[in-house]
């Protein structure tokens, strides 16, 4: 009996499944926007399709100039063979290399463009059609794909032609690539799904999947534990067409009588593991997630998948239920519950868990059908680009409503480094190494810093100043300060939250200068008869005429040294009597006021019980509410 080659068989399964099951299915091409800022004739916003390789800058933007190469227009060969380089010169804008579709993989074009120094690659379609998603190939010998870090985008033939025409005319074509609206970012929690496969022997794609789980695990777990994300793993299965259920092929690739199938890992039915081993492991992993999720520890899935791929690889012939059980035990999960969820793979019945997975494959809302494996779905939109930690983190981070993103989103590893050049146009204090430029995955923000425990306030662009406690330690709070003859005077006060004020004895704005007040010349103090006034820095000296006179600064007056006590006491007596008199007077007034108040109060109360004799008295005592005592 002539066996269909395994890969054809797998393809047949896909084709049949897509015809039968996904008749109404659709694949959604994920897009970002491309804004041409010049030349004027091309100005506008165009759509382009995000390539499924390289690193799109989710949540961010990128400026550049479009260059169409003189030779190697399809970028199928390395550009150095043509002596072409697209590295921008110092101060120049990054180059977005426009290349033509055809003759080689999209990824090859991307890699050649990146190797030649381009910051992004724009592929012009070679036929008039709606935008498609550029995917990476499954073939071997494509290790370079992992190394592509530039973003890639497909543009329509029409737009590509327009760009080329403008370049031919000698126009400089300025473009802004914008991924800010590529993912919805409605709230403070990001829901994301990872459509994956437990198969670890499928070449570059499987390696990429495993590397991703290994590298992203820690971040994913932190995000999940803190409630920032809700993650769900998913697994794609196909069903065997009715007519083939009893065939050898379906029996080896499917479980539950042809209901759930996966392609043979080695694409050879006679050796190694069968597709059904993969389906069972997939099912086990979903069940494990469900059980872990029930105990509110959904992140254990990452540990399991990571550990399983290390401890039970196909290569070492350990890809088995027993090995899996060992991993489950070591993670302290309930094996019985998981086994119950997996059920009997040989039974001719539906498995509710896998049934739900098949239903979920079909697109809903803004999300298209999931057909590319692996696929990441963020806020119900499919992620396009390399499955790499920082690129994925950028995408997840761009799914948060702005300002609600967690710390990891602002961490160094996904920074944009826009602060390196010209300090991002933000305020800085070079002398003290303070800057308002903050790198975030969305691009830089200018925000006055908190440095050395002191908060800075201002617009962040042209102005930031220290404020609050401790502000005088930094740059003296931006205030004037001067030292003369060992005496330091400052216009900054830690008691004041902000601003500068010249201290007593000085006048001025407190920022640039404070000038000594000449108390003598301005006739402010020391105006007593026979007194001599001498101005000092910040103060003055006053001496009374005659030897036996003493200057009393508080009263700006001279008293006799000899009779100082009697004069002093006399002075006090006067004050004492004055106070006593004032006290008696005040008491009298108080008494009088109190009586009249009580009178009116009593009258008011009485008035409620009996009519007063005449209107006049009533009016006279009306304003009780306005008592002023």
Q: How far is the CB of 539 from ligand NAG (least distance, A)?
A: 40
Measured CA distances, 564 to 328, 530, 548, 558, 574 (Å):
97, 18, 10, 10, 15
d(CA 190, CA 229) in angstroms, rounded, equals: 5
Q: How far is the CB of 90 from ligand NAG (least distance, A)?
A: 22
Q: How far is the CB of 377 from ligand NAG (least distance, A)?
A: 13
| Residue 94 vs 233, nearer CB to ligand NAG | 233
| Residue 215 vs 475, nearer CB to ligand NAG | 475
Q: How far is the CB of 450 from ligand NAG (least distance, A)?
A: 12
d(CA 266, CA 274) in angstroms, rounded, equals: 8
| Residue 340 vs 593, nearer CB to ligand NAG | 340
Measured CA distances, 292 to 285, 296, 299, 525 (Å):
10, 6, 8, 83
Residues 6 or more apart whose Cβ sits within 8 Å of residue 459: 427, 446, 448
**Counting contacts by CB under 6 A, is residue 189 touching ligand NAG?**
no
Q: Check if the beta carbon of residue 319 is closer than 8 Å to that of residue 326.
A: no
DSSP 351-390: -HHHHHHHHHHS-BTTB----SSSEEEETTEE--S---HH
Residues 6 or more apart whose Cβ sits within 8 Å of residue 467: 454, 455, 456, 457, 497, 498
| Residue 293 vs 539, nearer CB to ligand NAG | 293
**Counting contacts by CB under 6 A, is residue 621 touching ligand NAG?**
no
DSSP 231-265: EEEEE--B---GGGTTSHHHHHHEETTTTEE---T
| Residue 296 vs 555, nearer CB to ligand NAG | 296
Q: Check if the beta carbon of residue 56 is closer than 8 Å to that of residue 150.
A: no
Q: Check if the beta carbon of residue 64 is closer than 8 Å to that of residue 113.
A: no
Burial class (CB in 10 A: 0-12, 13-18, 19+), 356: exposed
Applying CB under 6 A, among 63, 180, 189, 290 the residue interacting with ligand NAG is 290
d(CA 375, CA 387) in angstroms, rounded, equals: 9
The DSSP letter of residue 616 is: H
| Residue 18 vs 232, nearer CB to ligand NAG | 232
- Binding range to ligand NAG, per CB under 6 A, among 97-105, 290-298, 420-428, 458-466: 290-298
Q: How far is the CB of 259 from ligand NAG (least distance, A)?
A: 20
Q: How far is the CB of 433 from ligand NAG (least distance, A)?
A: 4
Residues 6 or more apart whose Cβ sits within 8 Å of residue 162: 42
| Residue 292 vs 502, nearer CB to ligand NAG | 292
* Chain Cα centroid distance, residue 177: 19
Q: How far is the CB of 296 from ligand NAG (least distance, A)?
A: 6
**Counting contacts by CB under 6 A, is residue 293 touching ligand NAG?**
yes
| Residue 356 vs 598, nearer CB to ligand NAG | 356
Q: How far is the CB of 292 from ligand NAG (least distance, A)?
A: 9
DSSP reduced 3-state for 424 = helix
Site string for ligand NAG, 361-400 (x = CB under 6 A): ----------------------------------------
Site string for ligand NAG, 296-315 (x = CB under 6 A): --x-----------------
Q: How far is the CB of 230 from ligand NAG (least distance, A)?
A: 7
**Counting contacts by CB under 6 A, is residue 433 touching ligand NAG?**
yes
**Counting contacts by CB under 6 A, is residue 415 touching ligand NAG?**
no
What is the distance between the terminal CA atoms of the chain, rounded to a whole angstrom?
115
Applying CB under 6 A, among 211, 215, 232, 543 the residue interacting with ligand NAG is 232
| Residue 193 vs 519, nearer CB to ligand NAG | 193
| Residue 293 vs 415, nearer CB to ligand NAG | 293
Q: How far is the CB of 340 from ligand NAG (least distance, A)?
A: 15
| Residue 412 vs 554, nearer CB to ligand NAG | 412
Q: How far is the CB of 23 from ligand NAG (least distance, A)?
A: 27
Phi, psi of 221 (to 5 degrees): -70, -40
Site for ligand NAG in 90-109 (CB under 6 A): none
Applying CB under 6 A, the site for ligand NAG has a residue count of 5
| Residue 433 vs 547, nearer CB to ligand NAG | 433
Q: How far is the CB of 290 from ligand NAG (least distance, A)?
A: 5
d(CA 134, CA 50) in angstroms, rounded, equals: 7
Residues 6 or more apart whose Cβ sits within 8 Å of residue 246: none
| Residue 192 vs 269, nearer CB to ligand NAG | 192
Q: What angle do CA 292, 397, 106 make, to 5 degrees?
A: 100
Q: How far is the CB of 186 from ligand NAG (least distance, A)?
A: 17
DSSP 302-367: HHHHHHHHHHS-TTTT--SHHHHHHHHHHTT--HHHHHHHH--TTSSS--HHHHHHHHHHS-BTTB
Q: How far is the CB of 227 from ligand NAG (least distance, A)?
A: 11
| Residue 431 vs 610, nearer CB to ligand NAG | 431
Phi, psi of 43 (to 5 degrees): -55, 135
DSSP reduced 3-state for 56 = coil
Binding-site ranges for ligand NAG (CB under 6 A): 232, 290, 293, 298, 433
């Amino acid at each position: 009996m002539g066996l269909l080659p395994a890969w054809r068989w797998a393809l047949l399964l896909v084709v049949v499944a897509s015809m039968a099951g996904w008749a109404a299915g659709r694949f959604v091409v994920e897009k970002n926007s491309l804004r041409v800022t010049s030349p004027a004739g091309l100005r506008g916003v165009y759509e382009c399709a995000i390539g499924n390789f390289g690193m799109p800058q989710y949540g961010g933007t990128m400026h550049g100039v479009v260059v169409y190469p003189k030779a190697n227009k399809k970028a199928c060969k390395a550009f150095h063979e043509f002596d072409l380089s697209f590295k921008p010169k110092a101060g120049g804008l990054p180059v977005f290399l426009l290349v033509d579709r055809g003759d080689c993989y999209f990824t090859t074009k991307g890699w050649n463009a990146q190797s030649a120094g381009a910051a992004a690659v724009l592929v012009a379609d070679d036929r008039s059609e709606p935008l498609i998603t550029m995917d990476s190939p499954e073939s071997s010998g494509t290790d370079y794909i992992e190394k592509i870090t530039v973003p890639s985008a497909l543009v329509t033939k029409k737009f590509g032609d327009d760009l080329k025409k403008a370049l031919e005319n000698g126009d400089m074509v300025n473009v802004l690539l914008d991924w800010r609206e590529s993912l919805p970012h409605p709230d403070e929690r990001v829901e994301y799904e990872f459509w994956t496969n437990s198969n670890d022997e499928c070449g570059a794609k499987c390696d990429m999947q495993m590397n991703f789980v290994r590298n992203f695990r820690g971040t994913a777990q932190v995000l999940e534990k803190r409630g920032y994300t809700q993650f769900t793993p998913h697994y794609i299965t196909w069903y065997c067409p009715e007519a083939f259920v009893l065939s050898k092929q379906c029996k080896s690739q499917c479980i539950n009588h042809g209901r759930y199938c996966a392609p043979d890992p080695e694409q050879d039915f006679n050796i190694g593991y069968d597709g059904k081993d993969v389906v069972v492991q997939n099912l086990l992993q979903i069940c494990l997630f469900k059980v872990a999720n029930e105990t509110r520890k959904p992140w254990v899935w990452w540990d399991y998948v990571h550990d399983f791929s290390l401890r039970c690889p196909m290569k070492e012939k350990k890809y088995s239920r027993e090995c899996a059980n060992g991993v489950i035990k070591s993670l302290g999960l309930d094996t019985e519950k998981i086994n119950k969820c997996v059920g009997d793979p040989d039974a001719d019945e539906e498995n509710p868990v896998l049934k739900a997975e098949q239903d979920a494959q079909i697109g809903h809302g803004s999300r298209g059908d999931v057909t590319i494996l692996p696929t990441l779905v963020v806020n119900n939109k499919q992620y396009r680009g390399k499955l790499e930690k920082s690129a994925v983190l950028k995408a997840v981070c761009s799914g948060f409503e702005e300002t609600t993103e967690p710390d990891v989103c602002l961490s160094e590893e996904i920074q944009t480094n826009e602060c390196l050049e010209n300090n991002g146009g933000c305020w800085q204090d070079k002398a003290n190494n303070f800057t308002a430029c903050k790198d975030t995955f969305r691009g830089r923000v200018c925000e006055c810093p908190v440095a050395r425990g002191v908060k800075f306030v201002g617009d962040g662009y042209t102005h930031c100043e220290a404020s609050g406690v401790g502000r005088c330690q930094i740059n003296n709070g931006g205030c004037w300060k001067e030292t003369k003859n060992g005496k330091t005077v400052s216009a900054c006060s830690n008691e004041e939250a902000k601003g500068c004020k010249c201290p007593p004895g000085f006048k001025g704005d407190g920022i640039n200068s404070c000038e000594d007040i000449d108390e003598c010349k301005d006739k402010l103090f020391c105006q007593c008869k026979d007194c001599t006034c001498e101005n000092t820095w910040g103060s003055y000296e006053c001496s009374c005429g005659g030897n036996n006179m003493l200057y009393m600064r508080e009263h700006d007056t001279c008293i006799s040294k000899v009779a100082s006590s009697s004069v002093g006491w006399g002075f006090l007596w006067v004050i004492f009597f004055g106070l006593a008199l004032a006290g008696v007077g005040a008491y009298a007034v108080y008494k009088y006021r109190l009586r009249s108040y009580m009178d009116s109060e009593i009258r008011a109360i009485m008035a409620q019980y009996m009519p007063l004799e005449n209107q006049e008295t009533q009016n006279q005592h009306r304003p009780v509410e306005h008592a002023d005592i």
